[in-house]
Amino acid sequence: MRTKISLLSVVTLLFGVLLTSCTKSSVVVSVPPLVIGQPITAGTPLSGSVKGTMLSGQTYTMTGNITVNQGDTLLMQPGVHLKVGRGLTILVKGVFISLGTKDQPNWIGPDKTFTKTDQVGASIASDSAYCGYWTGINCEPSCTLLDLKFTHVEYTGASFSANFFPSGKAAGDGSFGIYFQNLNGDFIFEDSWMYGCIDDAIRLSAGRFEVMRNTFEKCGFTGGDGANVKSGSVGDMAYNLCIGGATNMTKAAMPTSSNVQTNVNMYNNTYINCGYRQSDPTGRGGSINYESGARGEVYNNLIVNCRVGLRIHNNPAADVLHMSYGYNYSYGDSLSVCDMFYPVPPTTSVTVPQSTDIPTPTATIFPASLYSAAYLYTLDASGNCPNMVTPYNGSSFVQKGNPLFVSFPLPEQGIQHLSDISAVGSFNFRLQANSPAIGKGTTDPTLIAPIAAVHVTNPKLKATITMPGADMGCYQNDGSGNQH
């Protein structure tokens, strides 16, 4: 018996020794080598980590991907041309500022010259606008400010190469023109031009922003939006001229979640011929779109010959209880356009025709039983809007209320499809003095006012917000609004 007990104690002792012996454990995760941003000098090709000022009137060429490190700033003075090599990326972990002016705009685009094929009816398949030459300006979640004023951003949309891509993307993924993803960061895109891209021209996965007085041409190849902001994005999209976009040109959504609700005010934008390259036959919208819990105010927009008008999506539904809109001006050459002023299946929506809209949605065409907010905004127990806008007879709207652009004859001339015109070219979308769109908008601040979410206060850097204007669309008769 004794031996048994002593045996047991030996075993117990063995246990003890082993249990008390050291347990070492370690986790190693590789970290990027420290690279100090190098000051840039004119005439020296840009590559790697850079910071500093690009001087007025100079041309700089990127021969490799560039990174603006966290804590560093890269600034373009007025009149700078930044040429980007094929497939390259501007990666912003710190701050990137481009201070073009009306007289001295800045250019960020390919290091080679493409011939623009902006003539009416040019083949899209061979259009250089969709060559996807470089991968755009990509901001990491650490980027606190991306500020572009009077800056041309052209020919983006390449796929990311093997060894350089931002967070949230992988090698081989397609790129956006501008990608911003800091909920607590500021993104300012003012008086600038976005020409040619494959997917979205601007994608915010989160952030405070102003997208104001810009021109968007040929954005998206067979999909993609102009300015597409997602969960936790707050700001304004106003006075933008949008022409020939693949899908929507201004879009607000909240497909994932955030502790800030997506809230976007869209006013005084002009939309021409948008939504016709979208390959999904449901259209998914063709001008303005709110969905999946996003909220906002939509006023004074001029929507001409777009595939789909203002779309308040029913599923996933926008935050319909907090949507307000009206004073939007629609024009259509054909019945198929006019039938979609208020989107009907296959493009589903719960857009309520507003009495302030032009042309006036009469109760004869839109009986309250089917087109009132009370009906369309009915939420079921799961928070869906099951009552969507049903087809109506838009024949009385066809070619009514020509907004009389300075130089863009309506009905549109020399085209086979509305997708045949997708750039400004020699057209002029200012309103003639006798345009029926003049003075029809609202400036009532209780209806529409900018959100002005951006925090930047430095007078040279801050956003310049144009208040809502009474003339429909992006050009005001008093010369304010879009300056292009």
Partner 1 sequence: MKLRSFFKTLILLSFISLFATSYVNASNIKGYVLDSKSKEPLIGAVVFDKQDNQINDLAGLDGSFNIKKLKSGRHILVIRYIGYESQEKEIRVSANHPVANVTVLMEPNSVALAQVDVVAEQNKESSEYAMHKEKSAENVENILSAKSIQLSPDITVANILSRMSGVTVQRTANSGEGQYAIIRGMDKRYNYTLVDGIKIPSPDDKNRYVPMDIFPAELISNLEVIKTLTPDMEGDAIGGAMNLVLKDAPPSFLLTADVAGGYNQLFLDRPFYQFNHQAVNLKSPAEMYGANYPAKVSDFTIDNLKFKPVNPLPNFMGGFTIGDRLFNKRLGVILAVSNQNSYSGSNDFFATPRAKPNENNMPGFEYMTQQTYSTQNDRLGIHNKNDFFIDKNNRIVLYNAYFQLNKYISRHSLETALGTGVGNVITKDRSQTQLESIYNSTLQGKHTLSNQLSFDWSAVYSKAWASNPDDVELQYNSTIINSPTLQGMTHKWSHNADQDISGYLNVYWNPTIAGQEIKTQAGGMYRHKTRDNYYNAYQLTPQLINNEPQAFTTIDSAKFAFVGYNANLGSPVNQNDYQVTENVAAYYGEAKLNLWKKLDVLAGVRVEQTNLHYKTPMPISFVGSSGSQVYMDILPSLHLRYTLADNQNLRLSYYSSISRPGYFEVVPYLISGEYFDEEGNAYLKRSKAQNVDFRYELFPHPSEQILAGLFYKRITDPIEYSLVQDLGPSSLQMKPQNFGTATNYGFELVILKYFKNFGISANYTLTKSSITTYKASYHRDNSGQLITDSIRVTRPMQGQADNIGNLSLLYKNLRLGLNMQLSFVYTGKYISQVSGYYGLDYWSMPYTTMDFSFEQSVSKKINLKIFGKARNLLNSVAITRIFRPNSYLTGNFQLPEQNSPNSVVVQKETYQPSYLVGIRYSF
> Segment 47-66, which members bind partner 1 (CB under 8 A)?
none
Q: What is the smallest separation between the CB atom of 349 and partner 1, expressed in angstroms?
A: 11
Residue 34 to residue 71: CA distance in whole angstroms: 13
Quick note: the x/- pattern for partner 1 over 265-304, rule CB under 8 A, is -----------xxxxxxx---------xx-x---------
Q: Based on CB atoms, which residue is closest to partner 1, 42 or 171?
A: 171
Name, in order, each residue with C-beta under 8 angstroms of 109's C-beta and a sequence gap of 6 or more: 82, 83, 84, 133, 134, 152, 153, 154, 155
Does position 222 bind partner 1 by CB under 8 A?
yes
Name, in order, each residue with C-beta under 8 angstroms of 442's C-beta and a sequence gap of 6 or more: 299, 300, 326, 327, 356, 448, 468, 470
Give Cα 32 to chain centroid, integer Å: 31
Number of residues that bind partner 1 (CB under 8 A): 102
Q: What is the smallest separation between the CB atom of 464 and partner 1, expressed in angstroms?
A: 26
Does position 369 bind partner 1 by CB under 8 A?
no
* Torsion on CA atoms 104, 105, 106, 110, rounded to nearest 10: -120
Q: What is the smallest separation between the CB atom of 340 and partner 1, expressed in angstroms?
A: 11
Structure tokens at 63: 């021969």
Q: What is the smallest separation between the CB atom of 201 and partner 1, expressed in angstroms?
A: 14
Structure tokens at 390: 């049903």
Q: Based on CB atoms, which residue is closest to partner 1, 54 or 424?
A: 424
Structure tokens at 258: 């955030």
The alpha carbon dihedral of 406, 409, 410, 416 has a sign of: negative
Q: What is the smallest separation between the CB atom of 321 and partner 1, expressed in angstroms?
A: 8
Does position 113 bind partner 1 by CB under 8 A?
no
The alpha carbon dihedral of 43, 44, 49, 50 has a sign of: negative
- Beta strands (DSSP E) in 391-478 are 405-407, 428-431
Q: What is the smallest separation between the CB atom of 144 and partner 1, expressed in angstroms?
A: 11
Residue from 354, 419, 435, 482 touching partner 1 (CB under 8 A): that is: 419
Does position 86 bind partner 1 by CB under 8 A?
yes
Does position 115 bind partner 1 by CB under 8 A?
no
Residue from 98, 106, 151, 205 touching partner 1 (CB under 8 A): that is: 205
Nearest CA among 29, 30, 79 for reference residue 59? 79
Does position 163 bind partner 1 by CB under 8 A?
yes
Residue from 47, 56, 183, 335 touching partner 1 (CB under 8 A): that is: 183
Q: What is the smallest separation between the CB atom of 347 and partner 1, expressed in angstroms?
A: 9
Longest CA pairwise span in the chain (Å):
115
298-357 residues in contact with partner 1 (CB under 8 A) are: 314-317, 319, 322, 345-346, 348
Does position 19 bind partner 1 by CB under 8 A?
yes
- Beta strands (DSSP E) in 150-232 are 151-154, 178-190, 193-197, 202-212, 215-219, 227-229
Structure tokens at 393: 């007879």
425-454 residues in contact with partner 1 (CB under 8 A) are: none
Q: Do 264 and 233 form a contact (C-beta atoms < 8 A)?
A: yes
Does position 18 bind partner 1 by CB under 8 A?
yes
Does position 169 bind partner 1 by CB under 8 A?
yes
195 SS3 class: strand
Q: Based on CB atoms, which residue is closest to partner 1, 383 or 479?
A: 383
Exposure of 8 by Cβ count < 10 A (0-12 exposed, 13-18 middle, 19+ buried)?
A: exposed
Q: What is the smallest separation between the CB atom of 140 and partner 1, expressed in angstroms?
A: 9
Residue 166 to residue 175: CA distance in whole angstroms: 10
Q: Do 329 and 358 form a contact (C-beta atoms < 8 A)?
A: yes
Does position 11 bind partner 1 by CB under 8 A?
yes
Q: What is the smallest separation between the CB atom of 104 and partner 1, expressed in angstroms?
A: 29
Q: What is the smallest separation between the CB atom of 417 and partner 1, expressed in angstroms?
A: 5
Q: Based on CB atoms, which residue is closest to partner 1, 27 or 433?
A: 27
Residue from 43, 103, 113, 162 touching partner 1 (CB under 8 A): that is: 162
- Select the span of 50-58, 72-80, 159-167, 453-461 touching partner 1 (CB under 8 A): 159-167
